[in-house]
Amino acid sequence: MEAINPRPEIRVFDSPPALFHGAAQEFASRVQQAVNRNGRFSVALSGGSTPKGLYSALAGTSFAALPWDKIFFFWGDERHVPPDHPESNYRMVQAALLSKVPVSTENVFRIRTEASDAGLAAQEYEQSIRNFFELGAGQFPRFDLVLLGLGPDGHTASLFPDTAALSETRRMVVANWVEKMKTHRITFTYPVLNAAACDMFVVTGEGKKDTVRQILEEHRDFPAAAVNPQNGELLWFLDRAAAGK
């Protein structure tokens, strides 16, 4: 398959609810395509606060008929806290989505961040991905969809500016020390993000509009700007506030 280097497909919605419904419809469409083609759908979820609205939309009646038993859930990053901690991305997704749809635990690949050694949690998670995708050495997984958020500093997943993970080219998952937070974050690296069939940013709010413009129009080299799947699609779903319109 020849490499395609897509310009981002940018979609702007009038409001966060409209954005979350549009993103849920995109998610559902990709589920159907992947299940029809391969019998399953693999997705890496984003954390933080923005995607809660998307996860809640997916838990709604409009999407009850999705083949939930064929959807396999991963996370693009996780905080180094236990799964029941208020800052846990797993906990957020569990509350907003997984507790409301018929998904068995075998379909949920949680990052085991209760381990005191963040590096060990990263290694275990990488091995679970390797097993699921039946990867050989040096191969990277092709997720059907990777959901991503954007921080005002231009980070995505837990690829923060000036952190070691930005230059990782061999490992899929690393424990990334984030000095400004004085903590490790477990995160996908660029090889995984850029091997995906689709990377989809979901961004809302005035607070992100400058960073969005600097990435999409001025091509500033923020971490999020280096997400560009060579053989996949790159989507930016924005509300009007984040699009600066």
Enumerate binding residues for ligand 6PG (CB under 6 A): 46-50, 77, 89, 149-151, 155-158
Look up residue 156 and give its DSSP letter. Answer: B
Least distance to ligand 6PG from the beta carbon of 87, Å? 8
Least distance to ligand 6PG from the beta carbon of 113, Å? 11
Tokens of 137: 């050495």
State which amino acid sits at residue 196.
A
Least distance to ligand 6PG from the beta carbon of 14, Å? 19
CA pair distance 141, 194, nearest whole angstrom: 10
Q: Which is nearer to ligand 6PG, 156 or 189 (CB)?
A: 156
Q: What's the half-sphere exposure (Cβ side, CA atoms, 13 Å) at 48? A: 19
Tokens of 79: 């905080």
Buried b (16+ CB within 10 A) or exposed e, 163-175: bebeebeeebbbb
Look up residue 231 and give its DSSP letter. Answer: B
Closest residue to ligand 6PG: CB criterion: 149
Q: Which is nearer to ligand 6PG, 39 or 182 (CB)?
A: 182
CA pair distance 133, 40, nearest whole angstrom: 11
Q: Which is nearer to ligand 6PG, 150 or 172 (CB)?
A: 150
Least distance to ligand 6PG from the beta carbon of 64, Å? 26
Q: Which is nearer to ligand 6PG, 66 or 196 (CB)?
A: 196
Least distance to ligand 6PG from the beta carbon of 152, Å? 8
